[in-house]
Structure 1
Amino acid sequence: MQGAAADPAFVPGITGLGGLAGVTPAAPATSEEPEEPQDMAPEEPQDAVPAAEPEAEPETEAVADGPVFEAADRRGRILADATGVHLALDEEKCEFRWDEIGAVATEVSRFGRRFTVTVHTPDRRWYPIEIDAPAKGRVAEWESQLDAVLDAYFDEGTEGTEGTEGDKGVQDAS
């Protein structure tokens, strides 16, 4: 009898780690390395292709003469610069070029320490991220820095955006 308790692949929609390319399960951390016998060397197939080293993550290079906005907490990070808006939450990341963005909305929580930025795309999708500020005054500073970046780089004339000249696609839902 095969079931979900014995085989998670039995449940439709759930995929195991084997189905994900390039993902390897984490090995348990040990303080000492296992010793390999000196005379036993691991065999490599004759036609094996050497494993390509993972590409180094490209660091975003900000334009020196333009404004840059960056806010981060223990889990999330927001970066807006000349290339676009970059969001990161834990290990998940997404990047939006300025021509892919329909609007950027900001919101401050009721008690003023949680700053939410939502990136809206022209195809009616939205991507919110919340950042916890170390102090209430920091949220106001973040809003002004983000406004400066949006004023400098966000072009409302792109296809799929709506709004007036004054708001630059920013909606403040305080």
Structure 2
Amino acid sequence: MEQRIDTQKVTPVDAAGADPASVPGLTPPRQAPKTEDKAPSLEKAEPTEPAEEPDTEPEPEPAEDAADALTDAPADTAAADTAGPDFTASDRRGSITADATGVRLQLDDQEAEFHWDEIGAVEVGTSRRRLTVTVHTPDSRWYPNDVEAPDKARAQEWADELDKVLDAYFED
């Protein structure tokens, strides 16, 4: 069956030219925002009575006590964060650090820091003189890093020390 071109009904797409985010049929065309034209009022406002000024100046807060409180609080939280075991292994190119805040991997000028709540799993392995640590995140990404130990025994010691730190901070 043949159809004539002029019998097809073509609807104009008016929103697409004005708003590229508009998809005809899926989203309604955006309406122009309604703004109320408020012309500045020429009427005189009633004068307000000036507020009475207090006879005394407000008492300044003791600066020494506030400064002491601010200095003590970060020191206490920093002490609480560093309490517990920590681990650091490094070579000429990179380092692996695990402590109360999380795991930090560094290689040359690149660094990745993971807090304990961002970590899904930590994989530790040794190969000859190399300690390899891979941090797995919950979104199925993994970040490997390795450091070279002076000898094979030292690489195994690093792996054992890191296991103790992971047992202390990482929740299964």
Q: State the TM-score, normalized to the length of structure 2.
A: 0.52
DSSP 3-state at the match of 1:85: strand
Structure 2 CA distance for aligned equivalents of residues 127 and 144 of structure 1 = 20
| Aligned: 1:130 with 2:146 | yes
Task: Choose from 90, 97, 101 the match for 1:79.
Answer: 97
DSSP 3-state at the match of 1:139: helix
Higher helix proportion, which one?
A: 2
Amino acid at match of 2:136: H
**How far did 1:80 drift?**
0.1
Contact 1:108-1:114 at 8 Å conserved across structures: yes
| Aligned: 1:155 with 2:157 | no
Q: Choose between structure 1 and 2 for higher RCO, CA contacts under 8 A separated by at least 6 residues.
A: 1
Task: Choose from 127, 134, 144 the match for 1:118.
Answer: 134
Stretch moving more, 140-149 or 62-71: 62-71
DSSP 3-state at the match of 2:85: coil
The C-alpha deviation readout for 1:131-153, integer Å capped at 9, x for no partner, is 11011111111011101111110
Gaps of 5+ in 1: 1-59, 157-174
| Aligned: 1:93 with 2:117 | no
**How far did 1:155 drift?**
1.1
Structure 1 CA distance for aligned equivalents of residues 152 and 82 of structure 2 = 29
Task: Choose from 101, 105, 108 the match for 2:123.
Answer: 105
Task: Choose from 59, 84, 102 the match for 1:66.
Answer: 84
Contact 1:79-1:85 at 8 Å conserved across structures: yes
Q: State the TM-score, normalized to the length of structure 1.
A: 0.52
User: 1:140–1:100: structure 2 CA closer, same or farther, 3 Å change rule?
Assistant: same
The C-alpha deviation readout for 1:107-131, integer Å capped at 9, x for no partner, is 212xx20111000000000000011
User: 1:61–1:117: structure 2 CA closer, same or farther, 3 Å change rule?
Assistant: farther
Amino acid at match of 1:141: E
Structure 2 CA distance for aligned equivalents of residues 136 and 61 of structure 1 = 34
Structure 2 CA distance for aligned equivalents of residues 61 and 75 of structure 1 = 30
DSSP 3-state at the match of 1:74: coil
Structure 1 moving runs of 4+ over 2 Å? 60-65
Contact 1:62-1:68 at 8 Å conserved across structures: no
Identity of aligned residues (%): 60
Gaps of 5+ in 2: 1-77
Structure 2 CA distance for aligned equivalents of residues 72 and 62 of structure 1 = 25
**How far did 1:63 drift?**
4.5
